Amino acid sequence: MSVLTSLLLRGLTGSARRLPVPRAKIHSMPPEEELGIMEKAIALTSCFVTFLLPAGWILSHLEDYKRPE
């Protein structure tokens, strides 16, 4: 990178560094009610079906996806 390019980039980003960034005012409270066993089971099952089932399908059928050469 040339000296001119670095000076131009520094000039463009220098003013952005001095701008104040507003902080988010997020306050968390404890949950009003605990999750039950059924809700946890449904959540874990949906995660399993969503992520692991397609990956398992692809890995078990990997030979079908290979091109014959």
User: Which has more pLDDT, 42 or 21?
Assistant: 42
User: Which has more pLDDT, 13 or 28?
Assistant: 28
Q: Collapsing DSSP states into helix, strand and coil, what is residue 30?
A: coil
Contact 58, 65 (CB under 8 A): yes
Write out the residue range of the structural domain in which residue 55 sits. 34-68
Residue type, 64: D
Contact 35, 28 (CB under 8 A): no
Query: Is residue 16's pLDDT more than 70?
Result: no
User: What pLDDT band is residue 1 in, cutting at 50, 70 and 90?
Assistant: low
Task: Tell me, yes or no, whether 40 lies in a domain.
Answer: yes
Task: Tell me, yes or no, whether 60 lies in a domain.
Answer: yes
pLDDT tens-digit map of 19-35: 677 777 788 888 889 99
Average confidence (pLDDT) over 42-67: 91
Q: Collapsing DSSP states into helix, strand and coil, what is residue 33?
A: coil
Task: Tell me, yes or no, whether 25 lies in a domain.
Answer: no
Residue type, 40: K
Task: Tell me, yes or no, whether 6 lies in a domain.
Answer: no
**Domains contained in the chain, number:** 1
Task: Tell me, yes or no, whether 38 lies in a domain.
Answer: yes
What are 22's two structure tokens?
Answer: 């507003």
